[in-house]
Structure 1
Amino acid sequence: MDVRILMLGNSFTFTNHMPQMLAQLTGAEVVHHTRGGARLSEHLNPRTKLGALTQEALDKEHWDYVVLQEMSHGPITAPSSFFASVEQLCNKIRENGAVPILYATWAYQRGGAKLTAKGWDYDEMTHKMSEAYHKAARENHALIADVGQKFYEMSDTQDLYAADGVHPSELGSRIAAETIAAVIQEQKEKLR
């Protein structure tokens, strides 16, 4: 039986056709429920188009993995919503028989306009984002694809950001797909 992956997120997930990259890397069928700017809480709300779609998919279809990606700065600017949404989604995902994976995203580009406008420090944003995603993964026994950490380690030598300093470049999306694929591969090997 083919592996099926459902990705819940926003433009950080769908930019540069990242779900297709993940499908190529894993050989899985990858479906994404995304909308630019969407928060995880929207996937829990059946009164929204995205929420209705996600709830139906989790109730009626089989998935092996469900990848969760919060709105870019959500884990640090709306932590209570982030932690509550991850918990509820992880419970729903487990009821489905699937494994939840948190797709931990990155800080805005160092020196970029968006980071400056928020008045944040690059290292601080990276640390807070990582801390929030790791805490959510621990508390919910979810796997974590720490793409943000990869960006942190590579951004000085690689062009990982789109021109807006927020979204991933094509290479950034490829690294995200490779990081998620590696987590899935590692999980499969543990289950052998």
Structure 2
Amino acid sequence: MRTLFIGNSHTYFNDMPKMFKDICKENGIDMQVTMLTKGGMGLDYHADNEQTRFNILFGDYDFIILQHVAHPMGEFSVMEDAADRIMEWIGQTKAKPCFYMTWTEEGNEEFQPEMSARYRKLAEKYGCLVAPVG
């Protein structure tokens, strides 16, 4: 199986793709992982990046994990517009998308319900999974 992680430092800082691969291995699942990340960047950055489109369309992934910028998260419309473009590419493949719901920064915990609601709203819109890692 193959999984693509698209995100930023929330994805790569703790080496989430490796942790995911290790969990799969412990459960007898042979998983290959690829990571497209850039610190501080959101789905809008990735939607504008040709490497993202190419990997989604030609990477033969089973799962694609999507993570938006968190600090600050910015306007929901930017996140949603980027997700629309990325989900259009994913829809042309066999991959199952999953939103990677992150956490707010320390001292801004009151924003967590809004952040969580945004990820849930997109997951509902596209009928896909959401992983509440935060």
Task: Compute the displacement of 1:64 (Å).
Answer: 0.3
Contact 2:57 2:90 in 1 (8 A): no
Contact 1:6 1:33 in 2 (8 A): yes
**Distance in 1 of aligned mates of 2:16 and 2:133:** 13
**Distance in 2 of aligned mates of 1:74 and 1:41:** 14
Aligned residue pairs total 129
Name the Cα RMSD after superposition. Answer: 1.4
- Residue 107 of structure 2 is aligned to residue 139 of structure 1: no
Describe the superposition over 1:152-180 as per-residue Cα deviations: whole angstroms up to 9, x where unpaired: xxxxxxxxxxxxxxxxxxxxxxxxxxxxx
Q: Secondary structure at the match of 1:37?
A: coil
Q: Secondary structure at the match of 1:12?
A: helix
Q: Which amino acid aligns with 1:146?
A: P
- Residue 93 of structure 2 is aligned to residue 90 of structure 1: no
Other-structure match for 2:67:
69
Other-structure match for 1:32:
35
Other-structure match for 1:105:
102
- Residue 12 of structure 2 is aligned to residue 14 of structure 1: yes
**Distance in 1 of aligned mates of 2:39 and 2:84:** 22
Task: Compute the displacement of 1:60 (Å).
Answer: 1.7
Return 5+ residue gaps in structure 1 as ranges: 46-50, 116-121, 149-192
Contact 2:53 2:86 in 1 (8 A): no
Other-structure match for 1:125:
111
Task: Compute the displacement of 1:52 (Å).
Answer: 1.9
**Distance in 1 of aligned mates of 2:72 and 2:99:** 13
Return 5+ residue gaps in structure 2 as ranges: 26-30
Larger Rg: 1
Q: Secondary structure at the match of 1:16?
A: coil
Other-structure match for 2:28:
none
Other-structure match for 1:43:
46
**Distance in 2 of aligned mates of 1:142 and 1:71:** 19
Task: Compute the displacement of 1:74 (Å).
Answer: 5.4
Contact 1:67 1:100 in 2 (8 A): yes
Describe the superposition over 1:29-63 as per-residue Cα deviations: whole angstroms up to 9, x where unpaired: 11100011111111121xxxxx1211111222200
Task: Compute the displacement of 1:106 (Å).
Answer: 0.8
Q: Which amino acid aligns with 1:81?
A: V
**Distance in 1 of aligned mates of 2:98 and 2:83:** 10
